[in-house]
Each structure stands twice: as structure tokens, then as C-alpha cells.
């Protein structure tokens, strides 16, 4: 068996692993690279292998760093099945359309600013029609239900507790050496501190790929997170606004319910919350349509929100004009907007207007990849460039790590302790180079596992 780490190895974005056995050839995830100027080039060069020999795709969840090149796969000629959970399919309908819109805009901008003597007009990675067409390739499967994407392979999706529909892939593969069990963690959620139930424990594997996004750090406890959130907001709303960059799927909803928890306990006065992202609105509505997938305490919070709209006044902004009007609000508003890494979308406008104001606060609630505007803010930049303007950073910046949809180091280790014995080989993926190496060492030191590696992008491993 051969594993090719095409992305999400030594970095957090672009998750994509090519698995080749004697009889089958398939991808686990097909994610977009994000952050920095090189992302465009890396996405253009991705998927450079013979797609005619690809049998199927397994997708762990809908986040763009795991799914965002599926329409690119279609554009390059792949017409085979893409196996997903039903809720992932719902989310992909909105996420891939939004991504295609951004790709078209990006290509248009790059074409406008190209050196006409040296470069031809840029084509987008994919267009809206290709994004819609690839949705027809989706094949939905319920959690914990066996399915056979290939005669030599059987699979189950287990709840990963990361976002709605997120899955751990548990596969039994026929190889020359017999049947082997392959487990792909995907992104694992926090146990007991999120929207969803904790990740499903797996008892064993011959080969394991485990994420390591926060493999070198610990999140704050739920109580500490609530206190941190309370302190950041309570001292701001009287004279300024609270701006929250958040991923449209998962993080926006986690922030919303965290605010509801504070409002219900009366630790904050009635709140005025704007969700300024069409995709986040759709994702929030999907979330609220699926209470059966939520953690019990979140279902209870949602019932409270529906019954007490004056305690948390939730408004969605649809049109561009409504979004622009938010910039005239000087105080008392909590604005949740995408993108979560501050590199695109409406959040850039809100940062443009509120970062220079010392009376405002910016709450960073998710991972910020290298090269992104969000990462520069977290790293303490005193000035940032937004829309070709130099913007001073005077607003207070708060990093609220406890709202992450990812397990931290100890959460990941606890999940690994569910294995009855060490896998034959373990590959640490979906983490920046130093983070993945640190978590690899923690697994060896704390669990006593010996065959643990942290591959880099482009590396190929032959697994006996």
C-alpha cells in the first residue's frame, strides 16, 4: 500500500491524501490551500496525477481546507463518486458555491492586475457551474453504517464531533498482506466543550492518520473561556463594538451559543448580535434544523434563544448595503463575520472601520494560518494593510482559544488512548511543521507508541 501526502502535512490547510492499494486508488479529502500569496499557486498545481485511475473520494467534512478542491477535481475530469455524510452534503451546497464565487473574483482581480506583457488572463480554479456539477457526485452515508465504495474496501463514518457531519473514516482494506484497518481521524472536536457530542472513540487500527492542529497547546477550560469572553465584551459595548472573525460553518454557531449562555445567565445585558455572512446564516439555519446532532446542553440553549429573543437579538444581514450600514454603528454591536482568518469576505470591511478605534475589541476565535491577516493580528502587528490602505491596530485583541472546534493536545491524546494497542504506523497530519513534530513526540513519550511519523507535503510512504 502507498500513501501520498498531497496536502495537510506539515501545514494545516490543503488536506488531501492519496491511498493506493493493489486494487484501488482513492483520495481522503480534497482540500484547498489557504493563507499567503503562495496558496493560489499551490492550488493551481494541486491534483497533478492521473485522475482517470482514481476510483472514489472519501470526505471527512465540509470545511474548505478539506473539501475546497472538489470542484477543481471535477474541472480536471474526475467523474467518480464522493462519499460524505448527509449533513456534509447539505453544507457543501452552500460552501462550494461560495468558494466558486471567490475563485471567480480572485481570478478577475489577478487578471486586472497582471503584467499584460508577460501574463495571460487568469482562469479561476473552478467556476460556479463546476461547483454545482460536482455536487451530483456526492453519495451520502449515515454515521456507523457500513458501505462499500469499492469491492476490496468497506467503510464506516463515525462522528468526529468537529462540525455538523464531520466524520472519522474507519476502513477495512484488502491488501496483498490481508485485510488491514485504516483510520483517518479527520478533524476531531473538543470533548464536552462544543456544539456537538465528543468524538467517537476507535479501538484499533493498523494504520492511523491523526490531526494535530492544536497538538502543542492546551485550550482554556469552559469556565475560563466564558470568563475571558465576558471580560472582552463587557468592557467594550458601552463605547465600542466587538468584532468577531469566525468561520461560517461551526465557529459562528459556537460563538453564538457561547453568547447565548452569557445572556441567559444575566452576566451580560441584552445583546445585539449581527451575523454578517450569507454563508454563516445558511449554516446557522442548517444547524438549528438538526437539533438531534447537537450536544444536549446546546439543544437546551437553542430552545432558550427561541423563547427569549429580546435577551439576544439576532439579526442576519443579507444585502451588501446592510453590511455596509453596520460600519455606521459606533457602539453596542457584536458583529460576527467571515472569513475566519480575516483574508476575504465582509470581515475585512469591519476590521477596516473598527481596528483603528481603541474603544473596540476584536475576538479571534479560531486557528490563524501563516500568511493570513488574522495571523498578523495575533502576532501583534501594530499596522496592517487592508484594501491597499495602512490601518493602525488600536482595538484590543483577544484570542479566545476555548471556542475552537478542534481538540487540544490533551484532547487528542485522550482520543488516542481509546485504542486498545498502538497502531502499526501512525502519521501525524494537519498541523504546522513544528506543531506536528511536537505532537508526534508527545505520542511517543506519553503513550509509548514507537512507529509515529510527521510527514511533509509531497512525501510518499510505502506501507507494508
Backbone φ, ψ for residue 228 (5° rounding): -65, -45
The end-to-end CA distance of the chain, in Å, is 7
56 torsion bin: left (phi>0), alpha (psi -120 to 50), beta (else): beta
In this structure, are 272 and 168 located in the same domain?
Answer: no
CA 296 – CA 345 distance, rounded (Å): 33
- Contact between 58 and 27 under an 8 Å Cβ cutoff? The reply is yes
Identify the residue whose cell numbers are 460600519.
327
pLDDT of residue 118: 53
Do 282 and 233 reside in the same domain of the chain? yes
Residues 304 and 379 placed together within one structural domain of the fold: yes
* Same domain, residue pair 193 and 297: no
| pLDDT for position 211 | 98
pLDDT on residue 107: 79
Same domain assignment for residues 135 and 194: yes
**Cβ count within 10 A of residue 381:** 16
Same domain for 388 and 341: yes
- Are 173 and 152 spatial neighbours (Cβ–Cβ below 8 Å)? yes
What local confidence, expressed as pLDDT, does residue 108 receive?
82
Mean pLDDT of successive 10-residue stretches along the chain, which has 464 residues: 96 96 96 86 93 96 97 97 98 94 80 60 88 97 98 97 96 89 97 85 97 94 89 92 93 94 93 94 93 92 94 93 94 94 91 97 89 93 93 95 90 98 97 97 98 97 89
Report pTM.
Answer: 0.90
pLDDT at res. 73:
97
- Among residues 403, 435, 450, which one ends one of the domains? 403
Sheet holding 361-364, edge to edge: 312-316, 271-276, 334-337, 242-245, 361-364, 396-399
Q: Residue 359 sits in a domain of what CATH number?
A: 3.40.50.10890
Reading the block at residue 286, the C-alpha cell is 442548517
* Residue 132, all three cell numbers: 454545482
Residues 133 and 264 in one domain: no
Give yes or no for a contact between 77 and 52, defined as CB atoms under 8 angstroms apart: yes
Cell (9 digits) for 169: 473514516
Residue range(s) defining the domain that contains residue 93: 2-217+405-462
Instruction: Say how many CA atoms lie within 13 Å of 145 toward its Cβ.
Output: 10
**Domain end marker among 403, 418, 447:** 403
255 and 347 fall within a common domain? yes
Q: Indicate whether 163 and 268 sit together in one domain.
A: no
Whether 154 and 268 share a structural domain: no
* Pair 252, 142 in one domain: no
Cβ proximity of 19 and 37 under 8 Å: no
Q: What pLDDT does 121 receive? A: 66
* CATH number, position 86: 3.60.15.10
Which of 375, 403, 431 terminates a domain? The answer is 403
Same domain, 285 and 420: no
| Number of domains present in the structure of the chain | 2
Amino acid at each position: 500500500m502507498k500513501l501520498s501526502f498531497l496536502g495537510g502535512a506539515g501545514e494545516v490547510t490543503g488536506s488531501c491524501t492519496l491511498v493506493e492499494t493493489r486494487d484501488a486508488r482513492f483520495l481522503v479529502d480534497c482540500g484547498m490551500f489557504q493563507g499567503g500569496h503562495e496558496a493560489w499557486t499551490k492550488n493551481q498545481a494541486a491534483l497533478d496525477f492521473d485522475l482517470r485511475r482514481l476510483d472514489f473520494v472519501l470526505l471527512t467534512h465540509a470545511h474548505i481546507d478539506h473539501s475546497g478542491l472538489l470542484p477543481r477535481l471535477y474541472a480536471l475530469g474526475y467523474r467518480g463518486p464522493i462519499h460524505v455524510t448527509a449533513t456534509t452534503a447539505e453544507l457543501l451546497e452552500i460552501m462550494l458555491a461560495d468558494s466558486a464565487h471567490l475563485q471567480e473574483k480572485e481570478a478577475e482581480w489577478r487578471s486586472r492586475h497582471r503584467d499584460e506583457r508577460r501574463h495571460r488572463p487568469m482562469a479561476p480554479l473552478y467556476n460556479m457551474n463546476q461547483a454545482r456539477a460536482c455536487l451530483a457526485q456526492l453519495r451520502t452515508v449515515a454515521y456507523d453504517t457500513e458501505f462499500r465504495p469499492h469491492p476490496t474496501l468497506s467503510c464506516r463514518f463515525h462522528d468526529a464531533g468537529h462540525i455538523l457531519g464531520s466524520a472519522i473514516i474507519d476502513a477495512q482494506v484488502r491488501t496483498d498482506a490481508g485485510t488491514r484497518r485504516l483510520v483517518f481521524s479527520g478533524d476531531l472536536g473538543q470533548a464536552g466543550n462544543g456544539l456537538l457530542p465528543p468524538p467517537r472513540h476507535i479501538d484499533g487500527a493498523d494504520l492511523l492518520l491523526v490531526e494535530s492542529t492544536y497538538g502543542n497547546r492546551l485550550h482554556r477550560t469552559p469556565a475560563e473561556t466564558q470568563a475571558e469572553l465576558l471580560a472582552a465584551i463587557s468592557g467594550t459595548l458601552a463605547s465600542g463594538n466587538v468584532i468577531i472573525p469566525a468561520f461560517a460553518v461551526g465557529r459562528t454557531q459556537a460563538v453564538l451559543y457561547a453568547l447565548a449562555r452569557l445572556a441567559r445567565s444575566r452576566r451580560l445585558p441584552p445583546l445585539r448580535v449581527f451575523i454578517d455572512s450569507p454563508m454563516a446564516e445558511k449554516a446557522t439555519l442548517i444547524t438549528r434544523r438538526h437539533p438531534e446532532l447537537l450536544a444536549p446542553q446546546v439543544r437546551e440553549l437553542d430552545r432558550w434563544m427561541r423563547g427569549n429573543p429580546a435577551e439576544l437579538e439576532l439579526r442576519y444581514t443579507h444585502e451588501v448595503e446592510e453590511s455596509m450600514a453596520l460600519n455606521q454603528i459606533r457602539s453596542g454591536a457584536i458583529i460576527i463575520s467571515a472569513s475566519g482568518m480575516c483574508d476575504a469576505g465582509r470581515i475585512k470591511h469591519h476590521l477596516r472601520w473598527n481596528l483603528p478605534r481603541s474603544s473596540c475589541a476584536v475576538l479571534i476565535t479560531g486557528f490563524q494560518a501563516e500568511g493570513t491577516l488574522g495571523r498578523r493580528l495575533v502576532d501583534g502587528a501594530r499596522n496592517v494593510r487592508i484594501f491597499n490602505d495602512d490601518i493602525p491596530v488600536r482595538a484590543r485583541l483577544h484570542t479566545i482559544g476555548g471556542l475552537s472546534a478542534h481538540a487540544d493536545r490533551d484532547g487528542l491524546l485522550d482520543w488516542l488512548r481509546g485504542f486498545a494497542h498502538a497502531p502499526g504506523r501512525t502519521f501525524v497530519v494537519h498541523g504546522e511543521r513544528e506543531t506536528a513534530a511536537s505532537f508526534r513526540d508527545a505520542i511517543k513519550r506519553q503513550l509509548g507508541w514507537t512507529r509515529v511519523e510527521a510527514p511533509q507535503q509531497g512525501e510518499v510512504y510505502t506501507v507494508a
